[in-house]
A and B are shown apart, each in its own frame.
Chain A
Amino acid sequence: MYLADILRSFRRAPGGTLLLLVQVGFTFAVLVNVVALFDSYYRQLNKDSGIRNEAGVLAATVRGYGEGWENAPPGLLHMQHERTKEIIRGVTGVESVSYAHEGVPYQLSMHVQNTDRLTAPGNPLDVVNTRYSAEASTLDLLGLDIVAGRWFYPSDVQWVSSIAHNGGPDIVISQATAQALFGDGDPIGRDIVTGNGRKLNVIGVVRTVAAVNWPPLDEHAYFISGKAQNNTGFLIRLNDAIARQPEHRHAVFVELKSRLEEAYPDKEIVVETIEGLKTTNLGRFFLINAIVGGVSILLVLVTGLGNYGQMSYMVVRRTRQIAIRRALGATRSSIFNYHLLEVMVISLTGIALGSVLMTLINDVIVNAVGYGEMSLDHFVLSAAFLLLVSGVSVVMPVARATRVSPAVAAQLAN
């Protein structure tokens, strides 16, 4: 019964209805896309990195400012790096340390180019991978799962002048890399060719490990055995009791930095948490989300206000009509329900029309930023939220409509 009346009122005041429809449509189109972008971001942020208890892993960088110490004799350099390890181990709460010259998970570095194109004989595909240098202790430190083959033995790991050129020849690859290069075949014992033409031998596969690159390359990584003579990076595992408590973790962080700065006043010292690196690594996505998120909040507010204003205007214009209905026996709740239903019908129609624009915007966004594909969940969630906003924003004017007295009908008729 209400529906036929609502349709008649649309015909009587098509302008106001159209304005509401279009507003809701535009808002919905943007809102779904923003929800999709946020969902993609949080999925990525919470994606399994393969690292056990990320909160317990720190990364330290100890880098010379160019006083030539990198060119010192190798033996002296090894002693220097071992000394740094000892300093780090001496900090209360540190469980283990390993060298990580070629990359720390999520760390965007400008000093080490640890991205490599891997190919497998017989497979025409080039797979871009993050290259991590590793020693025997790295497996336990990161808490990675080996799903095939084995990790490096201490005897596999040598001091080398360049990880990219002299590291290995044994490597451990992620399952995603194994899948891309060998499909369902067994990768253990197979050869892989690096971007600089080196042939390396796969000895193991880890379930997953976070790469430095952004999706879809975020699971493609490999570990190559070796300790770099010009090492600057260290991975640090805190003991679980410390890692569980943020204030203790922070204390270790501060002490570590201060011990290293004290030991090397002439070097650049950077200590970072894996969690912090992850956030920075996804900073580009955060920035995009912050911009569109801010706009969408304003958009929802403006649409809510628009609904409020439009409904207030409609109630004023319909005062006489409402009064007559009341005089003819309509209850307050029926007046309330009628107007609320009217807004819901308009909003639902707006959502349906906005779906076309939504698809267009999604194409543009995904094409531009490479993530944020929509799903039915995003559609339903956004539609429900917008209906709620529409409903809440018109409660006050609709309540005013219910207070129109039947006597007004007689007054206006005179």
Chain B
Amino acid sequence: MTSLAIEIAIKRILRTPGISLLVVGALAIGVGLVMPMVTLYYNISGNPMSANGDTTYRVLVGEPRSGEDSMPAIKMDSDLALRVMDVLGETRQAVSYSSFQNVRNAPDDPITRPMFTEVRVTTRGFFTMFDAPVRYGSIWSDVDDQKINNVAVLGHATNVRLFGGENSVGRRFRLGDDEYTVVGVLDRWPLVPRIYDIGRTGNAKPEGVFVPLSGFERPGIEPFDFSFVAGDRNTRARSGAVEFVTFWVQLNDASSFERVQKQLAMLTQSSTTDQPRSWAVYSADDWVLMSPDLQNRKRIYRAFILINLCFFCVCLFNLLSLLLAKVFAQASETSLLRALGASRIGVFGTYMLEVAILGVVGAVLSIFVSRAAMNGLYWLYVDNLPSKFQELQMQEGTELIYAQVDLALLVMTLATGLLGALLSVAVPALRASQTHMAEHLKAS
């Protein structure tokens, strides 16, 4: 019976190739245009940390932000960060900020053009806390964290550009005005979203070069993403300070979590005017939900998804009317089937099966449409960036890390295509199953 239904469905598909192509095309384009935005939204919505995801916490200390949330400032100024580092003492910390610099080989290589890259200035704990994959060498030592030693860990793309991707530990390169020695090289690191410092655009990538924080005294590496101290300027004491430091801690148990909370509360409860007024600690899971930068980006993706869903709905309405017309045109044949003993459910089933097959084909094709749309989006995005940022976006191995498709997304794509197809055929199939045999047989 099932094989007969499949045979009938396939024969119908082949007998009306034009309509079949339209159904497949509408589903492929409809689903294919929705999925890129769903993919981008999905990829920035989860906590990317697998190893320390439940023990890593973002620490915020500062003046309350203006606006609807009562969150403290997202970043700290360097003086405050040093105080918090001191107050939290033995707790494992990852303190960092980002900068943009030119890098090139040393001694000066006339062939290699300087490469523009983002630099993260951070502490040693950063790498273990965020599970950075070390390919060659190791991370710098605790001593390097304290002193201004010119050592660096390279990202994969920078290592490829400067040293052809080979083990470059011990090699030297120029960063801004100074020469640095490579102590470690990271493997590809598709950290999405870049949870340790999400960035205003919400789609930042791990940096090309990492250097020690050295108590914020490293010369020539000016912070890039900063803002002036927020809040009431009449009461703030550090007038003119700029906030650029992100602060994370690793807390392995409830007692250390409570201890940190108490320490931060004490820091902000002092009566002196130069104390920050609020603090907060967010787990990595919560930070992905609460980060204002990610919230902004999600709002944009939601707007796009809504528009693309409208398009998908219109595609489905069109399919519905197309299939209604098809059922109407095939009424005589349906009557014949019924006269030969096919049940109403059987007729309903063959139509559903026919469009389900087309739905699966359309959904599979939508994966390719979605990929093409994603590449088009990426090209448009890069093309509209200032020239320096274009170079940064096109570094090898980092191009489309925000467009990764996993099994869940693949299943979602196929399910959306299939569901859309079944929804659009349900009413026509029901109509077909209710065909009045005598009337149509007489007409034919």
Contacts and interface: CB of A to CB of B under 8 A. Distances in A.
Is B truly associated with A? Answer: yes
A107 B387 CA distance: 11
Interface stretch (B6-14, B128-136, B322-330, B339-347): B322-330
A70 B177 contact: yes
B33 interface: yes
B328 A313 contact: yes
Interface stretch (B44-52, B191-199, B208-216, B309-317): B309-317
A107 B388 CA distance: 12
A119 B233 contact: yes
Nearest to A113: B226
Given A30-B311, A110-B100, A298-B311, A23 B318 contact: yes
Contacts of A71: 177
Given A306-B314, A313-B321, A361 B387 contact: no
A188 interface: no
Contact of A66 (B29, B178, B307, B322): B178
A160 interface: no
Contacts of A317: 328
Contacts of B302: 364, 368
Interface stretch (A279-287, A379-387, A400-408): A279-287
A309 B325 contact: yes
A109 B386 CA distance: 8
Interface string B169-201: 000001111100000000000000000000000
A216 interface: no
A298 B33 contact: yes
B143 interface: no
B384 interface: yes
Contacts, number: 138
A361 B307 contact: yes
A65 B324 CA distance: 68
A284 B325 contact: no
A184 interface: no
Interface residues of B, number: 53
B26 interface: yes
A305 B239 CA distance: 62
Interface in B60-101: 100-101
A270 B304 contact: no
B254 interface: no
A316 B329 CA distance: 10
Nearest to B318: A306
Given A66-B178, A364-B303, A110 B318 contact: no
A22 interface: yes
Contact of A291 (B320, B377, B386): B377
Contacts of B384: 280, 283-284, 286-287
A27 B310 CA distance: 7
Contacts of B296: 368
A119 B377 CA distance: 40
Given A23-B318, A303-B314, A368 B299 contact: yes
B386 A305 contact: no
A17 B321 CA distance: 10
A290 B233 CA distance: 41
Contact of A310 (B33, B104, B224, B321): B321
Contact of B300 (A16, A109, A369): A369
A309 B321 contact: yes
B368 interface: no
B20 interface: no
Chain B CB count within 10 A is highest, among A33, A295, A361, for A295
B333 to A, nearest CB: 17
A292 interface: yes
A194 B229 CA distance: 12
B415 interface: no
Interface string A65-90: 11110110000000000000000000
A65 B106 CA distance: 12
Contacts of B33: 295, 298
A117 B226 contact: no
A16 B306 contact: no
Nearest to A354: B310
A35 interface: no
B311 A302 contact: yes
A367 interface: yes
Interface of A is mostly: helix
Contacts of B380: 287, 290-291
Interface in B256-315: 296, 299-300, 302-304, 306-308, 310-311, 313-315
A15 B431 CA distance: 12
A29 interface: yes
A196 interface: yes
Is the interface on chain A under 10, 10 to 19, 20 to 34, or 35 or more residues?
35 or more
Chain B CB count within 10 A is highest, among A19, A66, A197, for A66
Contacts of B308: 295
Contact of B240 (A15, A197, A287, A302): A197
Contacts of B175: 66
A344 interface: no
B338 to A, nearest CB: 21
B146 interface: no
Nearest to A29: B310
A110 B385 CA distance: 12
A108 interface: yes
Contacts of A195: 228, 240, 242
B59 to A, nearest CB: 24
A16 B328 contact: no
Contacts of A306: 314, 317-318, 321
B321 A270 contact: no
Interface in B372-415: 377, 380-381, 384-389
B102 interface: yes
Contacts of A280: 384-386
Contact of B306 (A70, A117, A286, A361): A361
Nearest to A30: B310
A111 interface: yes
Contact of B303 (A66, A283, A299, A369): A369
B137 interface: no
A16 B177 contact: no
Contact of B325 (A299, A313, A367): A313
A210 to B, nearest CB: 16
B125 interface: no
A117 B384 CA distance: 27
Given A292-B307, A295-B308, A368-B296, 11 more contacts: A23-B317, A66-B104, A68-B177, A110-B389, A116-B228, A270-B387, A286-B384, A287-B384, A316-B325, A361-B303, A368-B300
21 contacts: A19-B320, A22-B317, A23-B318, A110-B388, A196-B228, A196-B240, A280-B385, A284-B384, A287-B380, A287-B384, A295-B33, A298-B29, A299-B314, A302-B314, A310-B321, A357-B310, A361-B303, A361-B306, A368-B299, A368-B302, A369-B300
Closest 3 interchain pairs by CB?
A283-B384, A196-B240, A368-B299
